Structure 1
Amino acid sequence: MTLPFKTYLVGGAVRDRLLGLPVTDRDYVVVGATPDDLLAAGFKPVGADFPVFLHPQTGEQYALARTERKTARGYHGFAVHFSPDVTLEQDLLRRDLTINAMAEAPDGTIIDPYGGQADLAARRLRHVSPAFAEDPVRILRVARFAARFARMGSTVADDTRALMRQMVAAGEVDALVPERVWQEFERALREPDPQCFITVLRDCGALARLLPELDRLFGVPQPPEPHPEIDTGVHTLMVLQQAARLSADPQVRFAALLHDLGKGTTPPEQWPSHHGHEARSVELVNALCTRLKVPAAYRELAVAVARDHGNAHRALELRAGTLLEIIERTDALRRPQRFAQFLLACEADHRGRLGFEDRPYPQAARLQRAFEAARGVDVAPLVERGFTGEAMRSALRQARTRAIAAAVKADE
């Protein structure tokens, strides 16, 4: 289909192709056209705040070249200008990072007015212009790109780090709404190195504003024997790194990240002990999830891990009845998939310690064996014996406890 106006591939598709990465989504900028021009060519409008259209054949997004001007605090306060006289370079100038401010012409020519290719080669995340400071979401995006490209050696440019700190000091991140924070947070949890998201936010001061429950963990000591890394914040980052190593599931990673929040509220006079931190962690997980409007599935798993990760670590020492209590509290019999997530997050906690990164976690096998034994108990004989109500529940628990005891003994 030949179009009567100029179009350019832009953004992530250009960046990823130059990096040799798979290109999944393609976005285009249209230069020298009006909304009526695109409608006449059969494009379907979908943009609410500015003209975005879907290609009539490919369904890919085409946006009119535009400029943006800051009009109020936060990220909603922008005046958008689009017209046929807006140039490609002006459109690219409003973007966040130089590596995202490149375009590709239909003949394959790369248009790179702000040094994106050089920054790609240097593995540098650098802002395009001072206008970066107008949108606090960009702080979250830079942190997320750091989590995506850390394995390639990418780091945040010094001048961009300084600008991000200035934005935090000016209170820009305080204007972010919970839904937007969670959207970027959840995306970052899916990246290869999500711990880098937390590190970048902490470096610029945004973590203390957005996720203070996590920020206060840094500098809090733990007993050196089980925790050679000592610092609770360092341990938390190591746990998230191990969770990413064990699972691509963002729910597992989220639960692993929040499992020790209660240690941040331990009175200093009790350090390095953190007695009762599990219960405090549950309260803080619930508060954080309420504030950011986190989906229920994330919250429920995070609460289960915060509450019972210590018990899971003691699984080799626990009696059958106590193992059954863990199974019941995690609702494993009704939700076996979440129990598997629970075990992964607990294993990440076990491995997220200096020198423990590759150590086995036999506790997970013990808990899985106990779960399978409990699930295998046949209810029919109890029904035939006439048990109902509370008597049935008691008899079933006894039968499951005996089954777990037999399974555990067989493993020894």
Structure 2
Amino acid sequence: MNELRFRPRWRADKLDRLGSSIFAEVAVWRSEARRLGRDIIDLGIGSPDRGPSPEIRAALGRAVQRGDAYGYPSSQGSAAYRRSAAAWMKFRFGVTLDPDEEVLALMGSQDGLAHLALAVCNPGDIALVPDPGYPIYAGALEIAGVTPWPLPLRAGNHFLPDLAAIPAEVLEQARFILLNFPGNPVSVRADAAFFRELLELARRYGLLVVHDLAYSEMGFDGYRPMSILEVEGAADTAVEFHSFSKSFNMAGCRIGFIAGNREAVSALGELKSNIDYGVFEPIQEAAIAALEQAMGPAPGPGVGPVYERRRNVFAAALEEAGWPVPKPAATMFVWAPLPPRLPGADAGASEGASRSFARELLLATGVAVIPGSAFGREGEGYVRIALVEEEDRLLEAARRIGAFIQSR
């Protein structure tokens, strides 16, 4: 009795399986590196290093000055915001949506990704998620008591999932399949033919397709990522998440939306109406300004060219330093196989190699990257590098990394 009283466990076991522990661990490594006197170049977390446009900031500033802006917002999002989101989907992708039933405001796309399984699944259901994949994909399933079935993304298949390899018995039990094109951590491109194959599979087995399109405005070399909702009839069985964090440098504002299948959108909206009161109205107004600017007569180049230049500069510098890495077709991330100079011919495939490399690199050089193992079993042997510093700092990071590799 006394032993139980003095040994409480106020922490659920499921927290150990959410996949975010490595990010906390990297934060500890950063602190250790600072104590060693290292100048930190943080290419770990994918948080934009620039702010939104002056027009977006001005809209936010005007909105927060209004005395009537501080009541509870609608958990669905304001009608004006949902209309703007629908208008942008039409402008950007040619997709027609009902803003009242097919669009729902979110506190960033991670909000929706974290709660969707709770809204559309029952405990014990199966959902298919990419491996490697953004940690909340599998983490959300743990929270909801849903069993994950990993879809391996491997270089041999250009990091696309092999849909034909999914067992029929898994598909028959699965509730939804979640994919991310272009992806995080892997910058995977998907075309209309792949989406049609995916949607046909979903219709055959009664699956909901969940597409995370957080990086829609970060395509390079003329590539413009497409929406799955562009495929005819996709909204019958698919939803898509959109975020302002990367597209408009509004990561701290926490706003996004889900669009598509009205039953799934309604289910998520019903759940969220019991959890929160929605997005602060001034932030919704800033998001409307962002969308209006993007649809305006002089929208500007957007964020894509910034990251394309950074990609080009960084990849060239790394190659010169002795570590050639694949150049991503989109997003703010480089998904890099471990350098070939690491000890042991199979260093990239050995368990714990990516974690050891990331830690040693940070302590020795001050450059922070994320071990690929943070994103799933298939991520071992890789690191994710975020292009979230200006070009001069990326060049400095490449120089330090090259010296580190040469010293091995």
Which TM class, normalised by the smaller chain length?
under 0.3
Q: Which protein has greater RCO, CA pairs closer than 8 Å, 6+ apart?
A: 2
Structure with the bigger percentage of helix: 1
Length-normalised TM-score, structure 1: 0.24
Length-normalised TM-score, structure 2: 0.24
